[in-house]
Structure 1
Amino acid sequence: MTQRNKPTFTLSLLHPRYWGTLLLIGLMYLLSCLPYSWQVVLGKNIGRLAIKLMKKRRRTIERNLELCFPAMSEEDKQVLIKENIDNTGMALFETGMAWFWSDARVNRHVTIVGLEHMETLAKEGKGALMVAVHSMNLELGARAFGIKMSGMGVYRPNNNPCFDYFQYLGRSRSNRTLIDRKDVKAMLHALRTGERVWYAPDHDYGRRRSTFAPLFAVEQACTTTGTSLLVDNTDCAIVPFTMVRDDKGHYTLTLRKPVEGFPKNDPDAAAVFINKIVEESIMAAPSQYMWLHRRFKTRPEGQACLYQNS
């Protein structure tokens, strides 16, 4: 999705079918106005309540950790699950922070490390593919970065047009625009013209434009080959991006030095390469990663589903 066809507000978004969505957006705004310490407490409790109502999601978290870290002790796994559930609740509040906080309030809570790497690339006119993972606080990280140096986000438009309007408005608040994840031409153009493009290749996006590569202890994880398509055709830099919240509630956004050694014109090897970056980013704060998605749902032909009981 580009600037010319971004979602716009129309009176149809006030239809009663969207009142629930409008109520949610209004609630997110009001909650974002609360003191941060209150938001942390509420977020954790909402996460714990929600997971009790969504037992399948908890089983998915457990299964993902079991698949990725088979040597992890049961005690350590239960601690990680508890922390992950708390952070799942915090995600609602961190999204509200990203969409509604002032620039000054975001800057007070977020420290950016490695911005000089992006400034160097900008001076060189070189495009940057900012490789992120789906951490719970990714929205806030993108907002914090955009205050300093705007970029373009790759996203999937929401099926609910009312939510999509507010999602686009919030995500583009300090960034140039958003690009529909299916609009490959727009991504290529942005990278060729020296833009910074957010990209998260860590989910299972299905068989189209994908291959199977190791991810943690899973030897064959369905992995997008979109990274190869973008890098091979633009010669852009690859900049790993991580966002971590510490025990005191402060966030550190780390922009690593552009990686070297990306295997060009070899999508299979590139998938292995990118998954190593994904692993490193997740391990920066494993409890803050979005484990509740079925990351390994797509299997090679003939292999059984890994989530029969979830």
Structure 2
Amino acid sequence: MSQNDPIFDTSFHRGLLHPRHWGAWLGVGLLHLLGYVPARLRDRLGDVLAPLLVRFSKKQCYIARTNLEICFPQLTPEAREALLHKCMRVGIKTFASFGELSVRSPEYLEQRTLVTGWEHVEAAKEAGKSVIFVVPHTWAIDFCGRIIANRKPFPMSTMMKSAKSEVFDRYINMERGRGGGHVYERSAGLKPIIKHLRAGGGFYYLPDQDHGREASIFVPFFGMDKATLPALPRLCKLTGAVPLMMLAIYNEDRLRYELVIEPLPDPYPSGDMTHDTLVMNQSVESLLTRYPEQYMWFLKIFHTRPDTDEGFYEHEIRKIRRRS
């Protein structure tokens, strides 16, 4: 990314051939191969690996169990553990299918997907409005972003944070940018997004990331105060964009992806930033309550606390590391 061009640079350079990247290239090649494997056969990998990962991924599963206990206190410990295992299965199956985005045709991807609520996108388009898709972190988030791009209702954009692997970073963002999509570095801020929306584009907005105390306000999420970025009402006000909730799902039983699109309560924004941010969180809650196994519960969604500088999960994670 340059100062004049905040779009993520996916160009190839010789440094990517360094031996330290060979493992990542092997992983990308494996994903491409798995993209050709029939879904029913490929999904068996998730069935086999999920119990092993739950057993050995102690830090990640501690975070997930903590989140599930906060968000679903009405469930028994056994029910939450079963939900954790199902979440892990869905995650593995979705990750193993990522190569389909590279090797399969748009027609194949379309027939693998059921979209509900597309009429809301068409209504915004007919009214000459841009759209902000409010997309929680489910495992299928990239797959269904491709469906939106393939249907081309308008040019799409999103923001990203660099991954640890430069090779995977390039690969993932090449896929996200297919079909003319713009992938902006998060450090670029909102200016390119505002420009894109005012030009009639669409924006893939991730509402549930923890951006820290200074950038956030604290509003309830599943009954617990969460540091939440109040950017959605601001973007809607500045650009006139229509906000639409969108949840990306992998249906294990039907071996297909599903995309659920719903409007936020009208009017939005209302003019009250705290209220509008809470409404967004409540809309995310509503979708995740219906499809809890789809969410990345391994994220530190409650990391920043209003009353302490220590991360919410850190004390127990340190104990896990000492025992390992």
Aligned to 1:174: 179
CA-based RMSD of the aligned residues comes to 2.1
Encode CA deviations 1:247-287: one digit per residue, 9 max, x unaligned.
22122212224642224443322221110111122123101
Encode CA deviations 1:51-92: one digit per residue, 9 max, x unaligned.
333211111111101111222122321221111121221231
Q: Secondary structure at the match of 1:256?
A: strand
Q: Which runs of 4+ in 1 moved over 4 A?
A: 1-5
The amino acid that maps onto 2:11 is T
Identity rate, percent: 26
Aligned to 2:316: 309
Give the deviation of 1:5 after TM superposition. Answer: 5.4
Alpha carbons 1:131, 1:200 under 8 Å: kept: yes
Give the deviation of 1:243 after TM superposition. Answer: 1.9
Give the deviation of 1:117 after TM superposition. Answer: 2.0
Which of 111, 117, 126 pairs up with 1:114?
117
Does structure 1 residue 59 correspond to structure 2 residue 62?
Answer: yes
CA distance in 2, matches of 1:227, 1:257: 14
The amino acid that maps onto 1:232 is K
Give the deviation of 1:205 after TM superposition. Answer: 2.0
CA distance in 1, matches of 2:7, 2:65: 43
Give the deviation of 1:43 after TM superposition. Answer: 2.5
CA distance in 1, matches of 2:214, 2:94: 29
CA distance in 2, matches of 1:4, 1:223: 25
Aligned to 1:195: 201
1:1-310 pair list within 5 angstroms: 6-149=9-152, 150-183=155-188, 184-218=190-224, 220-246=225-251, 247-257=253-263, 259-302=265-308, 305-307=311-313, 308-310=315-317
The amino acid that maps onto 1:166 is Y
The amino acid that maps onto 1:271 is T
Aligned to 2:320: none
The 1:66/1:129 distance shift into structure 2, 3 A limit, reads: same
TM-score under structure 1 normalisation? 0.92
The amino acid that maps onto 1:196 is G
Give the deviation of 1:97 after TM superposition. Answer: 2.6
**Greater CA drift, 224-233 or 197-206:** 224-233
The amino acid that maps onto 1:177 is H
The 1:192/1:58 distance shift into structure 2, 3 A limit, reads: same
Q: Secondary structure at the match of 1:66?
A: helix
Encode CA deviations 1:218-261: one digit per residue, 9 max, x unaligned.
1x111111223312211211011112233221222122246422
CA distance in 2, matches of 1:151, 1:275: 23
Encode CA deviations 1:99-145: one digit per residue, 9 max, x unaligned.
43221221121022222322232233211110010001111111112
